[in-house]
A and B are shown apart, each in its own frame.
Chain A
């Protein structure tokens, strides 16, 4: 395939960026999207131009490192996958592909396509855990039976990879889907109930402080989430939040 790539280049956090065109040839359908960028980078280096920087690590859709807004969509056109799982057979010869970083005030660009997503770590740190010590001296695991439906729903929420696509998909750059997934995981488990009130308040407070926008229920986040995290989690978090505030 022969393609035209339009890629966001930006030297650093404090410099202005711009879109740059790169024609590329010889792309095969079996290549992953990131392998296509590898090929481009090797070509650029050979020509003495600096390669395009992007985040990636596992390249199998689980670490949440890769990002990229591809033709306007986080993680590209296909559903339920991350950018590293996207393959070039989803594109056609002659296509023009725009590649930009995830856009949000709370995710400042560091360089080229790399953004700073540490705001997510801080939301998590505000309360996204059960406060148990790690000594292993707790009660036997089977003395906390968990209803299988709740266990499954909790697991589904827990599969969030912290990639930030939900934020990038949202016109308000809201982090509700991410935050609610963590709140839900624990709200659904008996182990998590003890701290439920403090957790939801602290995490929502941190989310607001980080400068993420409000949720206006458009559902774009759910659509673009590579792990299929459901909007039900947002509804559950809203209930938890209201009842927490009612309790004071």
Chain B
């Protein structure tokens, strides 16, 4: 029997919960704050915002990232925008509406109280970012401009051309540096967290590897915050950066932190297809292209003609056919799954038959080339740079790609994991997006977690630590943790087999994509779990990593990440197997309507699955957090 866990949601009506929390949260006097140390792993939007805010309050902060500069965290790559309830457009937006859109977009698998708080805190972010000098898009009047984003009927997305993530991140990075200049933050760049150190199920610090000198270091603190981002890179081909990883959260998981809904991954429908086995990542093309582009495949599988020579009558505009009212603008999960279905059934286009067409011919004819050039010029340029093809002349080829991890470390309302003193924020936690994240909500979540929520909830925890002895790095727990890390690194080097970490990663990624990706089935999952176990065993005896641990060694870094992926991959499959329903991005082939739409099972599965590490990757223990819906009635998503 699964055990039930509670999220510690404050009392009171939905709209008062966060205020009630803040009113009652414990405080720490300024004098005591400087005696308390906090470790923050990650300098993306969530980590940089948290570190800067905590330092500003007076805490001593250590901030870690694996890149050479905090400014390069993958938040930098977000293009589209950030949502906030400002209602500058006067189009009927409200906190209640934003809350509902988010919950519905997530197919009613998120926590009401968290989602509401996200919407409530959103407006302040725009005020603050503008005060920091983030150059959001503006109208000629000088006032801020908005656009609308998939799955909603209002314009609540703020943007900075196609570089919203970059501009928000630079704002947070600068706030972080400002605190470092004041001596409140110390940044450790080119450092990777390799172990969490706990004493009595309470987080006391971390072990890191200095990626330049190879030195294994101990860091103690009164609390640890994980802000290490998403782990979609587990699929190897994804829109994530090469260094994105699950190691920080996975090593915390193995110390007792529960992992929630690990299999829920969003696949982005408009990324560029793989062009060869050497391919290292998939570039995202902005979703906005679907506003004017039409998606199709040839009706005849064997049609080898150039797309421009295929007449209308021989084309299948399958999204327009299946979803007449939303058409090419169907939500991400639906558009991605529909594309995969075409590709799996042999209708894919391109040399590897792994893509579908995104065609602008009609838009160019109707609106003129100049308009399309204005709207998407930079995207067309980028497409041509990568593929060598001019999309004004020939349809683009696109395909779905792993993009965002809805799953992650389980956290309660305080964003605290099941380990005391260990918090998780941003994409690394599972919190607000349910089974499918709405576009432009995750930059928001990362910022809100770091700037506005953690400063209250972490302080509430730190208030209990003032009288406790200061964590020290010479304790037995630190000695043991350091030893484990060193032994593990040495094991990778000593294996001396024949296959590189990348080769294993590619194989594992393909297995997951095929069986635990856009659609899943009992049969497929059962099969692939065995395959993952086999490959994991082989990895242990046949890995090849050269060099030593005393200098930059990127192969060694990869080996550790892939080792963690091997264990997490099995948990993802077990999680997908356990959930016998389809919801959001989780599509179980057995649970679909006659028309092929997802069928949710609210009676049995309105819960968050939180998994506990038991020492055996194949036998995790399931805990359930019941999702209680008091303020919305659960409806079936329909985009027909």
**Residues of chain A whose beta carbon lies under 8 Å from any beta carbon of chain B:** 11-12, 28-32, 34-36, 38-39, 42, 45-46, 48-51, 53, 55-60, 62-65, 78, 81, 85, 87, 89, 110-111, 114, 116-118, 120-121, 124-126, 128-142, 144-148, 151, 154-155, 158-159, 161-162, 185-186, 189, 191-192
What 1/0 flags go to B121-163 for Cβ under 8 Å of A?
1001111111111011111111110000000000000001101
In Å, the complex CA distance between A191 and B172 comes to: 16
Known: A64-B72, A148-B142, A192-B133. A141 touches B278 (CB 8 A): no
Residue pair B72, A121 in contact (C-beta under 8 Å): no
Decide if B311 is an interface residue (CB 8 Å cutoff): no
Complex partner residue of B128 from A35, A134, A186, CB under 8 angstroms: A134
**Residues of chain B whose beta carbon lies under 8 Å from any beta carbon of chain A:** 49, 52-53, 56, 67-72, 74, 76-77, 86, 88, 121, 124-133, 135-144, 160-161, 163, 166-167, 170, 173-175, 177-178, 180-181, 187, 189, 212, 241-243, 275-276, 278-281, 283-284, 385-388, 451-452, 500, 502-503, 544, 546-547, 551-552, 554-555
Complex partner residue of A145 from B52, B143, B503, B547, CB under 8 angstroms: B143
In Å, the complex CA distance between A30 and B124 comes to: 44
Residue pair B177, A124 in contact (C-beta under 8 Å): yes
Taking the closest CB of chain B, its distance from the CB of A4, in whole angstroms, is 19
Residue pair A57, B500 in contact (C-beta under 8 Å): no
Instruction: For the complex of A and B, list the 10 residue pairs with the smallest distance between their C-beta atoms, beginning with the closest.
Output: A136-B124, A145-B142, A129-B174, A155-B135, A125-B177, A141-B130, A63-B72, A138-B131, A57-B241, A151-B138
Residue pair B52, A134 in contact (C-beta under 8 Å): yes
Residue pair B128, A116 in contact (C-beta under 8 Å): no
Taking the closest CB of chain A, its distance from the CB of B232, in whole angstroms, is 13
Complex partner residue of A56 from B141, B189, B242, B387, CB under 8 angstroms: B242
The closest CB in chain A to the CB of B177 belongs to A125
Main secondary structure of the interface of A (DSSP, over half): loop
The closest CB in chain B to the CB of A26 belongs to B278
7 contacting pairs across A/B (C-beta < 8 A)? A30-B387, A45-B544, A51-B546, A53-B552, A89-B388, A130-B131, A135-B128
B-chain residues with CB within 8 Å of residue A63 when the two chains form the complex: 67, 72, 74, 76-77, 241
Besides A30-B387, A138-B128, A148-B140, 14 other CB < 8 A contacts?
A: A30-B388, A57-B242, A60-B77, A62-B77, A65-B68, A114-B552, A118-B68, A126-B181, A134-B132, A138-B130, A142-B143, A155-B135, A155-B160, A158-B160
Known: A28-B278, A42-B500, A114-B552. A158 touches B135 (CB 8 A): yes
A-chain residues with CB within 8 Å of residue B503 when the two chains form the complex: 42
Taking the closest CB of chain A, its distance from the CB of B556, in whole angstroms, is 11
Residue pair A145, B141 in contact (C-beta under 8 Å): yes
In Å, the complex CA distance between A90 and B451 comes to: 44
Residue pair A45, B166 in contact (C-beta under 8 Å): no
A-chain residues with CB within 8 Å of residue B241 when the two chains form the complex: 57-59, 63
A-chain residues with CB within 8 Å of residue B143 when the two chains form the complex: 142, 145
Taking the closest CB of chain B, its distance from the CB of A169, in whole angstroms, is 20
The closest CB in chain A to the CB of B554 belongs to A53
B-chain residues with CB within 8 Å of residue A134 when the two chains form the complex: 49, 52-53, 56, 128, 132, 175, 451
A-chain residues with CB within 8 Å of residue B125 when the two chains form the complex: 136
Known: A57-B243, A81-B385. A62 touches B76 (CB 8 A): yes
In Å, the complex CA distance between A80 and B293 comes to: 26
Complex partner residue of A136 from B74, B127, B385, B547, CB under 8 angstroms: B127
Residue pair B132, A132 in contact (C-beta under 8 Å): yes
Known: A81-B385, A139-B127. A185 touches B142 (CB 8 A): no
Known: A57-B242, A129-B132. A141 touches B551 (CB 8 A): no
Taking the closest CB of chain B, its distance from the CB of A171, in whole angstroms, is 25
A-chain residues with CB within 8 Å of residue B132 when the two chains form the complex: 129-130, 132, 134, 191
The closest CB in chain A to the CB of B284 belongs to A60
In Å, the complex CA distance between A11 and B143 comes to: 53
Residue pair B68, A136 in contact (C-beta under 8 Å): no
A-chain residues with CB within 8 Å of residue B502 when the two chains form the complex: 38, 42
Residue pair A60, B283 in contact (C-beta under 8 Å): yes
The closest CB in chain B to the CB of A163 belongs to B72
A-chain residues with CB within 8 Å of residue B130 when the two chains form the complex: 138, 141, 144, 191
Complex partner residue of B135 from A39, A87, A154, CB under 8 angstroms: A154
Known: A57-B243, A59-B241, A191-B133. A133 touches B56 (CB 8 A): yes
In Å, the complex CA distance between A58 and B142 comes to: 33
Taking the closest CB of chain B, its distance from the CB of A29, in whole angstroms, is 7
Known: A50-B547, A117-B68, A121-B69. A142 touches B88 (CB 8 A): yes
Residue pair B56, A85 in contact (C-beta under 8 Å): no
Taking the closest CB of chain A, its distance from the CB of B560, in whole angstroms, is 16
B-chain residues with CB within 8 Å of residue A146 when the two chains form the complex: 138, 142
